[in-house]
């Protein structure tokens, strides 16, 4: 398999010519621009700043933004293809683009009033990275137990609280922040606000030192009497829970794409390695036991692709996809962990050292079962749909 072409899916998941051209172009970019920087970014736990404007130039930071605002006017499926293609090379870059498109852009396109769209969508398409700020120390899976408070004050709200585990925290200039305007109302008090970097009272705190996707920044955010105009409410006051829940459905498909690309990348490296590695006088790819391991990896990757593409297609067709998104997130994260583990086994001792790429992909895979809804939360969603 060539390092510079998109992995050919099986007949059931064939892409149109335009979709394949798009996926190929993103992967070729990742192979050329990202791959040489992957190890250094991982070791230093820092995104290469020069990559960020190139992502905007490629046109993949505003995929679903309408053309009238400077975006591509494309679909969630195109976002999935972009995240998959990038994640084959580096899932840390993949998740940056994923959060930008499936969470931030999607929130603005679906929920923002005309003024907010006019102010922020052109920036998100051209220069500005966004972050989606929901989680707190005491509200992970129980997302709506959040305690960040927004108090009405004239034509503004004053936000006070602390957010944790916020992806893109270091790179973002725009933060969709969830806070409650009425703690007594429970989830019905939650409201989404658009907060700009540099707003007085808002600070990006420490960056987490993580196991995997280390180049992707995961930060705490501090709000200390941070004044945000009422015009920056995203959606309706008290309806932030709806913004969060419905946006995260798309986000889970995006994480599915990240895990799919990660697994495909590990598979690509493994196929190449077993064809080159010789033992007992022949390449290990000639041993039937190895062939069976490769076959199972290939089947797993294709399962992940079918689930991810299906969930994205359903959403773009306006059909229900909550059940499919949960299955996609659950299974692709398991596939990523399983395929990368098998990759290390087939690399042998080489797979356990940082000189070879599969060690990093194995570390990167673990987060897939945790963020944007843990595996247990996905199982709960799936079970409810089955037993309804």
**pLDDT tens column, 78-89:** 999 999 999 999
User: Three-state SS for 135?
Assistant: coil
Query: Is 4 domain-assigned?
Result: no
Residue 224: is its pLDDT beyond 70? yes
Percent of the chain with pLDDT over 90: 94
Residue 4: is its pLDDT beyond 50? no
125 and 137 co-located in one domain: no
Sign of CA dihedral 278, 282, 283, 288: negative
Query: Is 280 domain-assigned?
Result: yes
Residue 326: is its pLDDT beyond 70? yes
pLDDT value for 1: 38
pLDDT value for 140: 84
Query: Is 206 domain-assigned?
Result: yes
- CA-wise closest residue to 131 among 158, 160, 164, 156: 164
**To 10 degrees, the CA torsion angle through 374, 106, 126, 217?**
-10
Residue 12: is its pLDDT beyond 80? no
Residue 337: is its pLDDT beyond 70? yes
CATH number for the domain spanning 214: value is 2.40.110.10
pLDDT value for 143: 83
User: Three-state SS for 4?
Assistant: coil
DSSP state for residue 216 in the 8-state scheme: S
206 and 254 co-located in one domain: no
231 and 258 co-located in one domain: no
104 and 227 co-located in one domain: no
Q: Which helix or strand (DSSP H or E) is residue 221 part of?
A: strand 218-229
pLDDT value for 14: 73
Tokens matching residue 148: 């960040």
92 and 166 co-located in one domain: no
pLDDT value for 13: 54
DSSP state for residue 14 in the 8-state scheme: P
Q: Which helix or strand (DSSP H or E) is residue 249 part of?
A: helix 240-276
pLDDT value for 232: 98
Residue 58: is its pLDDT beyond 50? yes
Query: Is 137 domain-assigned?
Result: yes
Residue 121: is its pLDDT beyond 90? yes
Instruction: Give the Cα separation of 253 and 331 in Å (integer).
Output: 11
Domain boundary among 129, 145, 160: 129
Domain boundary among 102, 129, 156: 129
Average of pLDDT values for 91-104?
A: 98
pLDDT value for 144: 85
pLDDT digits (tens, 9 = 90+) for 99-108: 999 999 999 9
Average of pLDDT values for 224-234?
A: 98
358 and 270 co-located in one domain: yes
Residue 2: is its pLDDT beyond 90? no
Catalytic residues: 372
pLDDT digits (tens, 9 = 90+) for 265-286: 999 999 999 999 999 999 999 9
74 and 139 co-located in one domain: no
**To 10 degrees, the CA torsion angle through 186, 135, 52, 7?**
-100
Number of domains composing the chain:
3
Query: Is 2 domain-assigned?
Result: no
- CA-wise closest residue to 133 among 213, 55, 202: 202
User: Three-state SS for 23?
Assistant: helix
CATH number for the domain spanning 315: value is 1.20.140.10
Percent of the chain with pLDDT over 70: 97
264 and 186 co-located in one domain: no
Domain boundary among 129, 162, 185: 129
Confidence of residue 3 (pLDDT cuts 50, 70, 90): low
Residue 368 sits at φ, ψ, to 5 deg, of -60, -25
Instruction: Give the Cα separation of 276 and 179 in Å (integer).
Output: 55
34 and 117 co-located in one domain: yes
pLDDT digits (tens, 9 = 90+) for 340-378: 999 999 999 999 999 999 999 999 999 999 999 999 999
Query: Is 114 domain-assigned?
Result: yes
Query: Is 6 domain-assigned?
Result: no
- Residue 283 half-sphere exposure, CB side, CA atoms within 13 Å? 11
- Residue 19 half-sphere exposure, CB side, CA atoms within 13 Å? 17
209 and 140 co-located in one domain: yes
CATH number for the domain spanning 17: value is 1.10.540.10
288 and 368 co-located in one domain: yes
Query: Is 5 domain-assigned?
Result: no
Residue 9: is its pLDDT beyond 80? no
pLDDT digits (tens, 9 = 90+) for 161-208: 999 999 999 999 999 999 999 999 999 999 999 999 999 999 999 999
> Beta 278-279 vs 282-283: how paired, if at all?
antiparallel
Residue 312: is its pLDDT beyond 70? yes
223 and 190 co-located in one domain: yes
Q: Residue 45 is part of which domain span?
A: 11-129
Structure pTM? Answer: 0.96
Average pLDDT, the chain: 95
Bridge partners for 153 per DSSP: 156
């Amino acid at each position: 398999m060539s390092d510079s072409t998109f992995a050919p899916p099986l007949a059931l998941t064939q892409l149109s010519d335009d979709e394949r051209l798009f996926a190929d172009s993103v992967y070729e970019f990742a192979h050329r621009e990202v791959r040489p920087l992957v190890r250094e970014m991982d070791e230093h736990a820092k995104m290469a700043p020069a990559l960020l404007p190139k992502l905007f130039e490629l046109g993949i930071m505003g995929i679903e933004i309408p053309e009238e605002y400077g975006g591509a006017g494309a679909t969630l499926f195109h976002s999935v293809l972009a995240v998959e293609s990038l994640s084959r090379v580096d899932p840390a870059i993949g998740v940056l683009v994923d959060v930008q498109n499936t969470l931030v852009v999607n929130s603005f396109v679906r929920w923002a009033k005309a003024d907010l769209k006019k102010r922020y969508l052109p920036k998100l398409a051209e220069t500005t990275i966004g972050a989606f700020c929901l989680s707190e120390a005491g509200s992970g899976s129980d997302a709506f137990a959040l305690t960040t408070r927004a108090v009405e004050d004239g034509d503004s709200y004053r936000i006070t609280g602390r957010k944790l585990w916020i992806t893109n925290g270091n790179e973002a200039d725009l933060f969709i922040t969830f806070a409650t305007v009425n703690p007594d109302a429970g989830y019905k008090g939650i409201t989404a606000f658009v907060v700009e970097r540099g707003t007085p009272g808002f600070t990006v705190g420490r960056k987490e030192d993580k196991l995997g996707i280390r180049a992707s920044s995961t930060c705490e955010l501090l709000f200390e009497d941070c004044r945000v105009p009422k015009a920056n409410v995203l959606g309706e006051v008290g309806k932030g829970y709806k913004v969060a829940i419905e946006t995260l459905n798309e986000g889970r498909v995006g994480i599915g794409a990240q895990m799919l690309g990660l697994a495909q990348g590990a598979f690509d490296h493994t196929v190449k390695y077993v064809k080159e590695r010789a033992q007992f006088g022949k390449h290990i790819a000639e041993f039937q036991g190895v062939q069976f391991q490769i076959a199972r990896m290939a089947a797993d990757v294709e399962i992940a692709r079918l689930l991810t593409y299906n969930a994205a297609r359903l959403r773009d067709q306006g059909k229900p996809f909550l059940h499919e998104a949960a299955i996609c997130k659950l299974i692709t994260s398991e596939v990523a962990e399983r395929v990368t583990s098998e990759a290390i086994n087939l690399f042998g001792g080489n797979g356990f050292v940082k000189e070879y790429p599969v060690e990093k992909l194995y570390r990167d895979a673990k987060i897939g079962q945790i963020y944007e809804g843990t595996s247990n939360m996905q199982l709960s969603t799936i079970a409810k749909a089955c037993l309804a």
